[in-house]
C-alpha cells in the first residue's frame, strides 16, 4: 500500500505488531465494556419492552410511536431547542466581544481572562446550587421563586450557562484572533479603515473557523445539558394538562430521558431507550453537520 | 502617527480596562455569595442572601463543622472517593490511550483504522444513549466501586483521548523511533523511553481535560456506584437536596465552598496548562 516505507520501518511495524495485545488490549476491553456493547445493546433495547434487560421482549417500533405521542418529550424538545439557540447567540456574542477587547492589549487583560474562565472549572451540579441560592435570594424579595415560574427557570439557566461558558468560548476566540496575520490589519489601517470597518471586514472573516467551532460547541452543549438543568430547577414548575399528563415545564431533553428511564412506570424503559436513540441521532446529526461545514470551508480556502 | 489619536486610543483602552474590571468584579460575585452565606445562619440565607454575616446572622464556623457530617454521609469520605476516582481514571486513561494511539498511528492496519473510526464516532454519542445499558453492564461486571469505575471511565472516555493522541503522534517524525530501533530498542521500550517523553505536552492537555471531566461528573458515577456506600462530591451535594425535608442552606454553602476552593487553587496554579488543554480539546471537531 505505502511503497515509500523502507524495509527498516516495515520491520519495526512487524516488531510492534507482536506487542499489539499489550498496546491495544486494555483500551479495547474497556471500550467494549464502556461504549461498544452498551451502544449496540441500547439500539436493540429501543425496540424491546423490558424492565431489567434479561426480560426484554422484541416489540418493533412501538416504543418510537409512543415517543412521538409523548407530550412531555415534545415539550422538552422545543424547550431544549429554544434554550440551545438563545444561549448560543448570547454566549457567542458576549464571548467574542470579551475576546476582542482582551486582544487589544489593554491593561490587566491576563487577570480578566483568568476571572472569566474560572467558572468553567466548577461542576454543573455545584453551579446549579450556587445560582439557585442567588436567584431565590433576589426573587424571594418579590415573594416568588425560580421554581414557581418557568420563565424564571429559562432565563436563570441562560444566565448560569453564560456565566459558565462565556470564558470557555472566549479562549477559543482569543486563539483565533491571535492568528489573524498582523500585516493585513496593518494594511487595513494604512488604507484608512476605521476600527469598526477593520473588525467587520478584516478580523471577523479571518476568525470564521473559530465561529464555526464555538457555534456548534454551544449548540451541542445546549442540547446535551443535564447537570445544570437538574440542579437549578429539576424541571419545576410542573403543570398538569387537561388530558392528565404532567408536563415539567423546564425539563430539557436529557433530563426527560433520565426521568423516563427511572420513573416508577414499569413499561417506560423501552420508551426511554427509544428517546435516547432519537436524542443520539439529533446530537450526532449536529456533529456531522459541523464536520461537513468545516470541510467545505477548508476547500474554499 | 499623530499624537492626539494615540492619546485618544489610549484613553479608550483605559476606559475599556475600567469596564472590564467592573464586569470581572460582577463575575466573581456568585463565588463571594457562597463565601458570605457559608458563614451565615441557615434562616438568613434565604431572606438576606446578599448581606454580610454580621451580628445575629453570623454562624461562625458552625456550618463547616455541621457540613462535615451533613446529609447522613461524611463529607471527607466523598472527597476521598472523588480524589481516588479522578486520579485513578486519569492515570489509566493517559497510560492506556497513549499506548493504543501510538500503535494505531504507527501500525496503521485496517483494524487500527476501524478502531480509530469507532473512537471518533463515540465522541458524538451523548451519554444518555448508553447510560442505562452501561450502568447495567458495569453492575454485572462488578465495576461499581471507586477502585473499578476507572475502567468504565477509560471505556467511555477513550474516544477523545485517542483522537488527541493520534493527531499528535502522527506529527512526530518516524526517524527518532527508527534510530532507537537500530540501537536495539524493542517496541515497548521505544514507547516508554522515547515516545512518552515527546508526548508530555499532549499528556498534560488530555490529563487536564480528563481531570475536569471526572471530578465534576455526576451522572455516570451516580448510575454506576452503589450510592449508599460511595458518593463523590457532586453526588453528595445533589443528595443534600434530594433528601426530603428542609435543606440547611448554610451548611450546603459551606460544603460547596470547601469543594470549590481546591478547584480554584488548582486552576490558579496550572492556569496556563488548563487553558491550553481546553483550547486543544475544543478543536476536536
- Whether A23 contacts chain B with CB within 8 A: yes
Which comes out higher in pLDDT, residue A195 or A134? A134
Provide the pLDDT confidence category of residue A209 given band limits of 50, 70 and 90: confident
pLDDT at A291: 74
The more confident residue out of B196 and A15 is B196
B245 burial via Cβ count (<10 Å: 0-12, 13-18, 19+) = exposed
CB contact under 8 A, B100 and A126: no
Residues 147-176 of B with CB under 8 A from A: 151-159, 162, 174
Residue B69's pLDDT band, with cuts at 50, 70 and 90, is confident
SS3 assignment for chain A: CCCCCCHHHHHHHHHHHCCHHHHHHHHHHHHHHHHHHHHHHHHHHCCEECCCCCCCEECCCHHHHHHHHCHHHHHHHHHHHHHHHHHHHHHHHHHHHHHHHHCCCCCCHHHHHHHHHHHHHCCHHHHHHHHHHHHHHHHHHHCCCCCCCHHHHHHHHHHHHHHHHHHHHHHHHHHHHHCCCHHHHHHHHHCCCCHHHHHHHHHHHHCHHHHHHHHHHHHHHHHHCCHHHHHHCCCCCEEECCCCCEEECCCCHHHHHHHHHCCCCCCHHHHHHHHHHHHHHHHHHHHHHHHHHHHHHHHHC
Q: What is the CATH number of the domain that holds B130?
A: 1.10.3720.10
Per-residue pLDDT at A264 exceeds 80: no
Rounded Cα–Cα distance for residues B149 and B225 (Å): 8
pLDDT band at A1 (very low <50, low <70, confident <90, very high): very low
Confidence of residue A238 (pLDDT cuts 50, 70, 90): confident
> What distance in Å separates the CA atoms of residue A66 and residue A68, rounded to the nearest whole number?
5
Q: Mean pLDDT, to the nearest integer, of B259-263? A: 89
**How confident is residue A5, by pLDDT bands cut at 50, 70 and 90?**
very low
* pLDDT, position B150: 94
Q: What is the pLDDT of residues B73-128, one digit of tens each?
A: 888 899 999 999 999 999 999 999 999 999 998 888 889 999 999 998 898 899 99
> Across the interface, do A168 and B264 touch by the CB < 8 Å criterion?
no
Residue with cell 492568528: A179
pLDDT at position B5, please?
56
pLDDT over 90, % of chain B: 32
Judge whether residue A298 has pLDDT over 60: no
- Reported as a single tens digit per residue, the pLDDT across A142-152 is 888 888 888 89
**CB within 8 Å: A121 and B212:** yes
pLDDT of residue B283: 58
- Preferred mutation among B67, B102, B130, B210 to probe A, highest tally of A CBs within 10 A: B130
Domains held by chain B: number: 1
Is B280 contained in some domain?
Answer: no
Identify the pLDDT of residue B92. Answer: 95
pLDDT digits (tens, 9 = 90+) for A179-207: 888 888 888 888 888 888 888 888 888 88
Chain-chain contact of A261 with B132 (C-beta, under 8 angstroms): yes
Q: Quote the CA–CA distance of B237 and B34 in Å, as a whole number.
A: 14
pLDDT value for A89? 94
Q: Does B152 sit within 8 Å of A34, measured CB to CB?
A: yes
The answer on pLDDT for A94 being more than 90 is yes
Q: What is the predicted pLDDT for the residue at B91? A: 95
What is the radius of gyration, based on Cα positions, of chain B?
24
For the cut 80, the answer to whether the pLDDT of residue A11 exceeds it is: no
Confidence at residue B244, expressed as pLDDT on a 0 to 100 scale: 52
pLDDT for position B2: 47
Cell of B246: 428542609
Q: Is some CB atom of chain B closer than 8 A to the CB atom of A273?
A: yes
pLDDT of res. A258: 92
Domains of chain A, residue spans:
7-45, 65-300
Q: Does A237 touch chain B (CB under 8 A)?
A: no
pLDDT of B242: 60
Would residue B198 count as lying in a domain? Answer: yes
Angstrom distance (rounded) from CA A155 to CA A118: 21
Stretch 118-147 of chain B: residues touching chain A, C-beta under 8 Å: 118-119, 122-134, 136-138, 141, 143
Query: Which cell numbers hold the place of A293?
Result: 461545514
Residue A65 pLDDT level (bands cut at 50, 70, 90)? confident
pLDDT of residue B4: 54
Q: Does B184 touch chain A (CB under 8 A)?
A: no
How high is the mean pLDDT of chain A? Answer: 85
Q: Which residue has the higher pLDDT, A240 or B141?
A: B141
- Tell whether A190 is within 8 A of chain B (Cβ): no
Residue with grid cell 499489539, as numbered in its chain: A20
Rg over CA atoms, chain A = 25
For domain A65-300, the CATH superfamily is MetI-like (1.10.3720.10)
Shortest CA gap B103–chain A (Å): 6
Statement: residue B130 has pLDDT above 60 = yes
pLDDT, one tens digit per residue, over A70-82 is 888 999 999 999 9
Q: What is the structure's pLDDT at A229? A: 93
d(CA A158, CA B144): 35
pLDDT of residue A3: 46
Return the higher-pLDDT residue of A7 and B133: B133
Q: Which of B130, B219, B275 is facing A35, going by the closest CB pair?
A: B130
Please state, for a pLDDT cut of 70, what percent of chain A lies above it.
93
ipTM, interface predicted TM-score of the complex = 0.87
Percent of chain B scoring above 70 in pLDDT: 94
Q: Does residue B114 form part of some domain?
A: yes
Chain B hits for A175, CB-CB cut-off 8 Å, are: 279
Report pLDDT for B285: 37
Write the secondary structure of chain B as one string of H (helix), E (strand) and C (coil): CCHHHHHHHHHHHHHHHHHHHHHHHHHHHHHHHHHHHHCECHHHHHHCCCCCCCHHHECCCHHHHHHHHHHHCCHHHHHHHHHHHHHHHHHHHHHHHHHHHHHHHHHCCHHHHHHHHHHHHHHCCCHHHHHHHHHHHHHHCCCCCCCCHHHHHHHHHHHHHHHHHHHHHCCCCCHHHHHHHHCCCCHHHHHHHHHHHHHHHHHHHHHHHHHHHHHHCCHHHHHHCCCCCCCCHHHHHHHHHHCCCCCCHHHHHHHHHHHHHHHHHHHHHCHHHHHHHHHHHHCCC
Residue B47 touches chain A, beta carbons under 8 Å: yes
**Residue A98, Cβ density class (10 Å: 0-12 exposed, 13-18 middle, ≥19 buried):** buried
Residues A144-183 have pLDDT tens digits of 888 888 889 999 999 999 999 999 999 989 988 888 888 8
Using the predicted structure, report yes or no on whether residue B14 has a pLDDT greater than 70: yes
Residue A28 has pLDDT above 90, yes or no: yes
Inter-chain residue contact B14 with A107, CB threshold 8 Å: yes
pLDDT digits (tens, 9 = 90+) for B219-234: 999 999 988 889 999 9
Q: B122 vs A297, B119, B158, CA distance in Å?
A: 24, 5, 9
Residue B184 lies in a domain: yes
Residue B24 belongs to a domain = no
How close does chain B come to A284, measured CA to CA in Å?
Answer: 5
Using CA atoms of A277, A255, B163, B194 in order, give the dihedral in degrees to the nearest 10.
-140
Neighbours of B28 (CB within 10 A): 13
Range of the domain at B170: 75-243
Whole-model pTM over 0.90: no
Q: At what angle do helices A20-31 and B110-123 cross, to 10 degrees?
A: 30
pLDDT at residue A225 greater than cutoff 60: yes
- CA dihedral in degrees (A288, A292, A294, A299; nearest 10)? 160
**pLDDT > 90: what percent of chain A?**
33
Look at residue B133 in the predicted model and tell me its pLDDT: 92
Amino acid at each position: 500500500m505505502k511503497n515509500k516505507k523502507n524495509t527498516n520501518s516495515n520491520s519495526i511495524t512487524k516488531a510492534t505488531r507482536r506487542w499489539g495485545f499489550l498496546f491495544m488490549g486494555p483500551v479495547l476491553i474497556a471500550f467494549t465494556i464502556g461504549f461498544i456493547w452498551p451502544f449496540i445493546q441500547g439500539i436493540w433495547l429501543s425496540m424491546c419492552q423490558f424492565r431489567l434487560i434479561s426480560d426484554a421482549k422484541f416489540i418493533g417500533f412501538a416504543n418510537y410511536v409512543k415517543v412521538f405521542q409523548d407530550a412531555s418529550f415534545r415539550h422538552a424538545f422545543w424547550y431544549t431547542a429554544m434554550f440551545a439557540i438563545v444561549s448560543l447567540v448570547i454566549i457567542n456574542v458576549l464571548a467574542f466581544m470579551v475576546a476582542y477587547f482582551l486582544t487589544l492589549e489593554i491593561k490587566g487583560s491576563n487577570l480578566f481572562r483568568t476571572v472569566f474562565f474560572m467558572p468553567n472549572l466548577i461542576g454543573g451540579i455545584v453551579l446549579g446550587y450556587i445560582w439557585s441560592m442567588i436567584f431565590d435570594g433576589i426573587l424571594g424579595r418579590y415573594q416568588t421563586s425560580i421554581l414557581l415560574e418557568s420563565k424564571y427557570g429559562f432565563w436563570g439557566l441562560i444566565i448560569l450557562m453564560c456565566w459558565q461558558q462565556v470564558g470557555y468560548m472566549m479562549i477559543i476566540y482569543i486563539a483565533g484572533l491571535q492568528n489573524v496575520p498582523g500585516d493585513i490589519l496593518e494594511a487595513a489601517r494604512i488604507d484608512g479603515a476605521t476600527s469598526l470597518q477593520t473588525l467587520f471586514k478584516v478580523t471577523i472573516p479571518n476568525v470564521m473557523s473559530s465561529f464555526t467551532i464555538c457555534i456548534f460547541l454551544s449548540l451541542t452543549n445546549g442540547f446535551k445539558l443535564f447537570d445544570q438543568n437538574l440542579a437549578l430547577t429539576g424541571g419545576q414548575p410542573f403543570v398538569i394538562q387537561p388530558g392528565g399528563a404532567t408536563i415539567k415545564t423546564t425539563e430539557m431533553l436529557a433530563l426527560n430521558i433520565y426521568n423516563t428511564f427511572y420513573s416508577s412506570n414499569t413499561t417506560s424503559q423501552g420508551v426511554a431507550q427509544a428517546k435516547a436513540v432519537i436524542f443520539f441521532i439529533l446530537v450526532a446529526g449536529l456533529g456531522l453537520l459541523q464536520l461537513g461545514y468545516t470541510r467545505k470551508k477548508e476547500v474554499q480556502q | 502617527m499623530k499624537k492626539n489619536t494615540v492619546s485618544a486610543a489610549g484613553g479608550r483602552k483605559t476606559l475599556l480596562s475600567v469596564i472590564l474590571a467592573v464586569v470581572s468584579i460582577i463575575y466573581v460575585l456568585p463565588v463571594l455569595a457562597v463565601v458570605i452565606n457559608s458563614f451565615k445562619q441557615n434562616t438568613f440565607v434565604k431572606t438576606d442572601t446578599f448581606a454580610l454575616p454580621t451580628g445575629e446572622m453570623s454562624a461562625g464556623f458552625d456550618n463547616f463543622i455541621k457540613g462535615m457530617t451533613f446529609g447522613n454521609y461524611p463529607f471527607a469520605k466523598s472527597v476521598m472517593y472523588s480524589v481516588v476516582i479522578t486520579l485513578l481514571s486519569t492515570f489509566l486513561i493517559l497510560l492506556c490511550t497513549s499506548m493504543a494511539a501510538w500503535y494505531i498511528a504507527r501500525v496503521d492496519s485496517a483494524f487500527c483504522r476501524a478502531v480509530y473510526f469507532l473512537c471518533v464516532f463515540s465522541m458524538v454519542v451523548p451519554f444518555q444513549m448508553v447510560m442505562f445499558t452501561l450502568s447495567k453492564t458495569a453492575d454485572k461486571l462488578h465495576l461499581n466501586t471507586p477502585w473499578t469505575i476507572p475502567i468504565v471511565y477509560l471505556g467511555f472516555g477513550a474516544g477523545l483521548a485517542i483522537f488527541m493522541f493520534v493527531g499528535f503522534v502522527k506529527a512526530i517524525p518516524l526517524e527518532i523511533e527508527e534510530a532507537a530501533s537500530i540501537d536495539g530498542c524493542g517496541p515497548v521500550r521505544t514507547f516508554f523511553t522515547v515516545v512518552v517523553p515527546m508526548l508530555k505536552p499532549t499528556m498534560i492537555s488530555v490529563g487536564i481535560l480528563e481531570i475536569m471531566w471526572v471530578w465534576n461528573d455526576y451522572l455516570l458515577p451516580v448510575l454506576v456506584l452503589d450510592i449508599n456506600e460511595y458518593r463523590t462530591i457532586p453526588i453528595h451535594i445533589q443528595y443534600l437536596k434530594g433528601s426530603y425535608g428542609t435543606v440547611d442552606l448554610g451548611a450546603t454553602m459551606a460544603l460547596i465552598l470547601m469543594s470549590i476552593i481546591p478547584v480554584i487553587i488548582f486552576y490558579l496554579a496550572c492556569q496556563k496548562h488548563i487553558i491550553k488543554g481546553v483550547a486543544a480539546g475544543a478543536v476536536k471537531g
